[in-house]
Structure 1
Amino acid sequence: MNTRRAERRLLPQIAAFIVVLAAVLYGFDPALRRLISGHVDGRDLSLVWVAPLVGLLGSIAVMPLAAPHFWHHHYGKVAAFWAAMLLIPFGFVHGVGPASSELVHAAVAEYIPFVVLLFTLFTISGGVLVRGNLHGSPAVNTALLAVGSLLASVIGTTGASMVLIRPLIRANDQRRRNAHVVVFFIFLVSNIGGSLTPLGDPPLFLGFLQGVDFFWTTTHLGPETAILVAILLPLFYLLDRWFYAREGFIPKPDPSPDARLGLSGVRNIPVLALAVATILMSGFWKSGVEFDVYGAHVSLQAVARDVTLIALALVSLKITPTEYRERNGFDWEPIREVAKLFAGIFVTLIPALLILKAGVDGAAAPLVALVSDEAGAPRPAVYFWLTGLLSSLLDNAPTYLVFFNLAGGDAVELMTVKAKTLAAISGGAVFMGALTYIGNAPNFMVLSIARNRGVAMPSFFGYMVWSSIVLMPCFAVVTVLTLM
């Protein structure tokens, strides 16, 4: 589809989204407020309510392999099906008002900021075109991964992934074996590199929304991140060198001959800087003004942040020549897929969050006991592994929220008295999001782009073999050196 025509179709949709968002945030319809009221008590929920979440995650893992054509055309309907499988009986059993209130809270406080941030970074970074091509040697590939790892905490794992994945694929498109390059790119750029700021990875952004200081993760996850990068970059270089030495010669010309690098779409760089400044503003500016959105409290700075981010994405669409996005191979399918699937994940995750918030009085009491010692003190190492392993299956952003609440949910206490626990939760969510394709939103985007460019990416379970062999020993080292 022509990029400009797609943009013309998208602009009215974004405008409609802004109008609906404003209507929700400022809606004062008394009848609607009476309908959307109350809360569901997590102590009354059994683990049966988690079944739709398990069903959705199972669909994400299996259906792209078992029914790829159906999945490609109907994944949004599949997500909607599982969301309905929760919401209909949930409303019937616990009341339409309380169920609707929980849904609005999940949408306004968590899902909308999450998707707006991803959409903005995806759109702006998609307008930055890295021209030319490098020869994908082991040294060049390692350097690109190192740059991407640093960039991920500045413009986000989504932004860094979208800016660098296409140049990386072009640099290696003559090689017979290049899937491992993209796999390590997901490890380092789409996940681990984003661990130092809330800009880097969605779970840290959600923590920032809960009150965690902007630079807290910079100081508390810095050592763990340095350990992982120091292991993975040399390991990648050695592995890529081994593959490179056995590559041989390809008789056909390089699809992307080497050429001097250049940068187009530089107008997007100040727009990206404004997006970063906007996110910073929302954390440091305390307006004291809050809106009651049918029981969910939304601050003025949060509203200003999300509206500004959407506006900046629209500015990027307006100022970027169509040619740059077309040469980038830019299309909306990756962000569309993420938005639809994550809508289903956030909805079906509602009971799990409520159960965990109930603590020892809820169905997750055995889990609460597992993460605490006999005296009731948290076990950081257990938090790290449980948060991480579940992040690889549930997506790391909502899983972070689950364990954040399980550890008490008080940002001030977690940053001070329980700093090691919060570092374990944050590290587990960010680092182990790399274990599966569904562990972090950029993983999906990179997978989609790589496959569209002809890279023979591993299957869902094939990727898990790669990540288990490479990453699990690294995470064990981090546990022993920093959490024991």
Structure 2
Amino acid sequence: MAMGFVPRGTRPQLATATLATLAILATSSAAVAADGAASLNGAQVSPLWAVPFAGMLLSIALFPLLAGHFWHHHYGKVALFWAAAFAVPFAAVYGPALTAHEVVHTALLEYIPFIILLYALFTVSGGILITGNLHGSPAVNTAILAFGTLIASLIGTTGASMVLIRPLLRANDNRRYNVHTIVFFIFLVSNIGGSLTPLGDPPLFLGFLKGVNFFWTATHLLHDTAVVAVLLLGAFYLLDRYFYAKEGGRKLKVDPTPDTESLGLRGAQNIPLLGGVIGAILLSALWKPGITFDVYGTHVELQWMVRDVLLVLVALISLSITPKIIRERNGFDWEPILEVAKLFAAIFLTIIPVIAILKAGLDGAFAPLVQLVTDPNGQPVNVWYFWLTGALSAFLDNAPTYLVFFNLAGGNPHQLMGPLAVTLEAISAGAVFMGAMTYIGNAPNFMVLSIARHRGVKMPSFFGYMGWSLTFLLPCFALLTVLYFL
């Protein structure tokens, strides 16, 4: 599943071709499978099958810290190793038919749409250049974070992150203390800001496809989002003032961004294309032609295929109509999206048995976790729905985690939007907010990390970042628990 290495600067058409190749490889591997292969029964899956997934997570956490040079050049090979460590023995135990069915199902319904959406948002937003040199004072930095938090639900956390991370980096490129700025950017713009619409974050989009009303999240998560955003923006402003004052007694670094150009916007032709991305997503949810294709036991609906084709076309249009100089000045390259594609390919593959065990509920190896979310009377325990959805979303992919707990709560959107509205609020908030707890909780986290490192920011390690998130996010989530979920 892991993609092969593509050198930086490779033409973008090759990125699209790589995605298509992944789909072909996935479906070709299923050619050896018998049609109608049964789905994996999580009740019969040993928790030992989670070892490759744990190994993948530990590799992401430890290699950059202990062997950074090796990781930078070989992370794709490490991802391929863990993918094979799962797939080869799994095929030997459960047979090639079932293995191929699970791989195809994950590739066609989860990984490929996930990467295509990120690719489109990354490409289009990378063609939008904010010119001029914003000077990273505490007030300016806080304003950028607040603006990004507001627009993340409109153009997605990926779109907002890609549009604003480079101006934020330029604004602070002469400051000695700038790591905290990128960390809080990940908290707010790459995660928490995407909580108000299904366009903001993949878990909410999946809920929309399951029947949750488009504006339900805006009306039910607005207060949760406002509380966390205000607290984090306030904490950031005070922290940035401290570091800014600390720099006052030292000679600032020479600002590499000259003040020779006024503030402005170039690449505005990409803004309607962001609307095209939103339109393609909405089309896939609102248009129901009833045409389904069966690909080795996986049902792929026509509107999903149309959505993905439209997203690729939007990205290609962006590449064709945006002057190359704009992307060059934006510091745009393909490494961040390639890193996400390779690492998440292995994550999506090795997570298959973990999700299957969780879906088995009380019959699976993780039954003690499932028991926590239901009281003796069979009613949902909202506190545990919030914290378990969030804790798993921090380390697993938050989209399938959302679906697991959505189904554990009954899976009926009308019930969940009505009598069980607080339960759905807890699931939604946990999936979106706690994606900020680790670098792997949400794809934009990794993209921002990669861009910042390439710009010379000494970002914290996996566990170092968790030190920040535990310090600043956990108190906010504890307050939400007291206010809304007890």
- Corresponding residue SS for 1:214: coil
The residue that corresponds to 1:149 in the other structure is 149
Deviation at 1:21? Answer: 4.5
Residue of structure 1 aligned with 2:299, choices 297, 300, 323: 297
The residue that corresponds to 2:449 in the other structure is 447
Q: 1:303-342 maps to which residues of 2 (within 5 A)?
A: 303-342=305-344
One-letter amino acid of the counterpart of residue 379, structure 1? V
The residue that corresponds to 2:263 in the other structure is 261
Matched, 1:136 2:136: yes
Deviations 1:146-202 (A, max 9, x none): 100011111111111111111111111121211111111111101100111122122
Deviation at 1:8? Answer: 6.3
Change (3 A) 1:294 1:409: farther
The residue that corresponds to 1:421 in the other structure is 423
Task: State how far apart, in whole Å, the 2-side matches of 1:246 and 1:143 are.
Answer: 21
The residue that corresponds to 2:123 in the other structure is 123
Deviation at 1:6? Answer: 6.4
Task: State how far apart, in whole Å, the 1-side matches of 2:339 and 2:126 are.
Answer: 16
Task: State how far apart, in whole Å, the 1-side matches of 2:305 and 2:99 are.
Answer: 24
Matched, 1:176 2:176: yes
- Corresponding residue SS for 2:294: strand
**Residues 137 and 244 in structure 1, CA contact (< 8 A), matched pair in contact too:** yes
Q: Which stretch shows the higher mean deviation, 347-356 or 402-411?
A: 402-411
Percent identical pairs in the alignment equals 62
Deviation at 1:412? Answer: 4.1
Task: State how far apart, in whole Å, the 2-side matches of 1:351 and 1:63 are.
Answer: 24
Unpaired runs of 5+ residues, structure 1, are none
One-letter amino acid of the counterpart of residue 409, structure 2? A
- Corresponding residue SS for 2:11: helix
**Residues 57 and 394 in structure 1, CA contact (< 8 A), matched pair in contact too:** no
Residue of structure 2 aligned with 1:283, choices 282, 285, 305: 285
What TM-score, normalized by structure 2, do the two folds share? 0.93
Task: State how far apart, in whole Å, the 1-side matches of 2:458 and 2:152 are.
Answer: 25
The residue that corresponds to 1:195 in the other structure is 195
One-letter amino acid of the counterpart of residue 185, structure 2? F
Deviation at 1:30? Answer: 11
Change (3 A) 1:302 1:260: same
The residue that corresponds to 1:464 in the other structure is 466
Deviation at 1:204? Answer: 2.1
Task: State how far apart, in whole Å, the 2-side matches of 1:19 and 1:176 are.
Answer: 43
Matched, 1:213 2:213: yes
**Residues 24 and 293 in structure 1, CA contact (< 8 A), matched pair in contact too:** no
Unpaired runs of 5+ residues, structure 2, are 1-6
**Residues 417 and 424 in structure 2, CA contact (< 8 A), matched pair in contact too:** yes
Task: State how far apart, in whole Å, the 1-side matches of 2:21 and 2:170 are.
Answer: 40
Deviation at 1:302? Answer: 0.8
Deviation at 1:397? Answer: 2.9
One-letter amino acid of the counterpart of residue 149, structure 2? S
Change (3 A) 1:201 1:396: same
- Corresponding residue SS for 1:221: helix
Deviations 1:419-472 (A, max 9, x none): 222221111111111111121111111111112212222222221111111111
Task: State how far apart, in whole Å, the 2-side matches of 1:198 and 1:17 are.
Answer: 24
Superposition RMSD on alpha carbons, in Å?
2.3
Instruction: Return structure 1 stretches of 4+ with deviation > 6 angstroms.
Output: 5-8, 22-25
Task: State how far apart, in whole Å, the 1-side matches of 2:483 and 2:335 are.
Answer: 41
- Corresponding residue SS for 2:268: coil
- Corresponding residue SS for 2:38: coil
The residue that corresponds to 1:110 in the other structure is 110
